[in-house]
Structure 1
């Protein structure tokens, strides 16, 4: 029987208390420095995303500086194209939605609500004031420009806030370039700090985390982008005025199973009924999303995502919302990396637990195999005659 060692127990307790205090201090420092760390976190994320392309160009024979310049230029060009093409299109779509809101209100009041009331017996029209809701949305949209003017005026009056905003915007491309160029150096320096005893385990967990998070960001985001473009163009060809906006919404919600196509179908059918009022355009909307789902299921997801995704959509939503609540925009940026690492650590802990004595119990030293009923060993042998 082992004897208790009070000094050893106290030392273990103090060590755990020290690590707990260190973790709480790091979280407090992260919360305090969140506004300053936001451009660094975003630049590090861009550097991590672009590093595989840089490594591939290096293996093709280009130098590190040339590869970094090419990848950084491509990322900058993609961002400019998104800002130039997508933002004005979304703004026009929202303006069309606000202008056509009376038509949607009339359709809901004259068609949708009477149909629902006739089949459910509920009196919805009596406690819904769509006229007031329409005026509220329109007035808020018209005041959006005034809000932007007020915000810019506040920033201009607050010199420090304006300087911080401009500094963050100006620092972002510079930090992203340096993270992209020196990403391998940062990884080597972090690996050099890991105790040699735990280096194989830490390296394995880091590779699994990188594969999981990389599979989600690179694969799923490509699927969202392709489907958003397909849905938007398809609904525009059908003739919907709000087709691009509905396609973008459906593409953004694609990472949640069933929610992306379901939201797109509902919004597309409503837009077709309000704008045209016939079933021909509704059939066109259903055909667009049907073709998109076939392409996603049989080509996009197996080709771009495969089985690399280990993050459940519910975990992704919770991680992003929790990160934003705790640390603001910085928390939303760090939510997916933290969730991926936590998922890998939980799998590792489960693996260790299933191989532990607590889970498996005391295994017998000798395992007696049961003989098959039809085998001769299953029946007692008669004693041989002497």
Structure 2
């Protein structure tokens, strides 16, 4: 009891920090995004400093490349995506009718199964209500924007802070880490540093490795599907790459969507389907033999079932943000559980043996 009372400054500080995070949550977005980008880019900055670059020069170079890459992607990718979304919107009713009249009968004939037809009236009413709700929401947003230009200016100001925060955090990243390490009590510093190092390896594997794998897979699928002439190739490819955060889910979503789009676009021909399957087979081979081993390895330590459960649990508890944070948090929990398991195996409680009652 006395030990807990003696640590009241620590508990008070923790409570103040939690209260501040809650009270300032509306303005924390640019700082959180900037800290995430700085964390992702810091290893590259450190690598440049090892080659003799000054910290400022290295940060400026990495930041410039990052900014130019984002601008280039927005300039070249957004118009293409917009055209494909327009194409999808105009073709969706025709696609649904085609699935009923040709797609499902072909599946029934080929695989000798019975399938229910899509309820076009239900789908039509659902889409109509969806677009009406979307239009109503958009009108409310536009009304609020027109009524209060201050809100939109505040939002733009917060977004524009992201690159500023990223740049200055990159400049002082190592100094900030050292300052935090110096605040740790000396008798706890070795153990906490070890845990932090292992958690950093896990987060690096996920945030850097997994995100790069998702991006590269999306590019492989999108470019491959565009090369075989699929009109929705970029949308389906990028969607499959993003969905690959869950093992095999991106492959399943992508190959089914691309196969339906290919059959709808070219008719019930086998050659376009084979081309789609080849694209996804190449993507799976590259993911399994090149991307995953070299960019991630076994550092995350979560089995596929654990990944699926973590994503679903995060979505159930905290929505979309929970799904994004589920795997990093789960990976850190795995590190802590691993250490807890080791300490339990070394504890007196685990190793104690009951005396033989016969003696």
TM (normalized to structure 1)? 0.79
Does 2:311 align with 1:317? yes
Question: Whole-Å Cα distance in 2 between the matches of residues 25 and 333 of structure 1?
Answer: 27
Q: Is this contact kept in 2: 1:230–1:292, CA < 8 A?
A: yes
> How much has 1:164 moved relative to structure 2?
2.4
Structure 2 gaps of 5+ residues are: none
Q: List per-residue Cα deviations over 1:86-105 (Å, max 9, x = no partner).
A: 33322222211111112211
Does 2:259 align with 1:269? yes
Count of residues paired in the alignment: 349
What residue is the counterpart of 2:279 in the other structure?
288
> How much has 1:274 moved relative to structure 2?
1.4
**3-state SS, counterpart of residue 255 of structure 1:** coil
**3-state SS, counterpart of residue 96 of structure 2:** helix
What residue is the counterpart of 1:347 in the other structure?
338
Q: List per-residue Cα deviations over 1:116-136 (Å, max 9, x = no partner).
A: 7896667x44xx531452465
Q: Is this contact kept in 1: 2:307–2:327, CA < 8 A?
A: no
What residue is the counterpart of 1:248 in the other structure?
238
| Mapping of residues 100-119 of structure 1, within 5 Å | 100-114=91-105
Structure 2 counterpart of 1:82, from 73, 76, 82: 73
What residue is the counterpart of 2:193 in the other structure?
203
Question: Whole-Å Cα distance in 1 between the matches of residues 309 and 337 of structure 2?
Answer: 13
Question: Whole-Å Cα distance in 2 between the matches of residues 303 and 121 of structure 1?
Answer: 45
Structure 2 counterpart of 1:232, from 222, 241, 264: 222
Question: Whole-Å Cα distance in 1 between the matches of residues 293 and 353 of structure 2?
Answer: 43
Q: List per-residue Cα deviations over 1:325-376 (Å, max 9, x = no partner).
A: 4xx85x6776555444333222211111111112222499xxxxxxxxxxxx
Q: Is this contact kept in 1: 2:221–2:279, CA < 8 A?
A: yes
What residue is the counterpart of 1:185 in the other structure?
175
Question: Whole-Å Cα distance in 2 between the matches of residues 181 and 215 of structure 1?
Answer: 23
Structural RMSD (CA): 3.2
Q: List per-residue Cα deviations over 1:282-329 (Å, max 9, x = no partner).
A: 11111111111112111121122222223452365257536744xx85
Larger radius of gyration: 1
> How much has 1:162 moved relative to structure 2?
2.2
Q: List per-residue Cα deviations over 1:137-182 (Å, max 9, x = no partner).
A: 3685598678546524412423442232022012111111111110
TM (normalized to structure 2)? 0.85
Question: Whole-Å Cα distance in 1 between the matches of residues 65 and 325 of structure 2?
Answer: 24
> How much has 1:14 moved relative to structure 2?
5.7
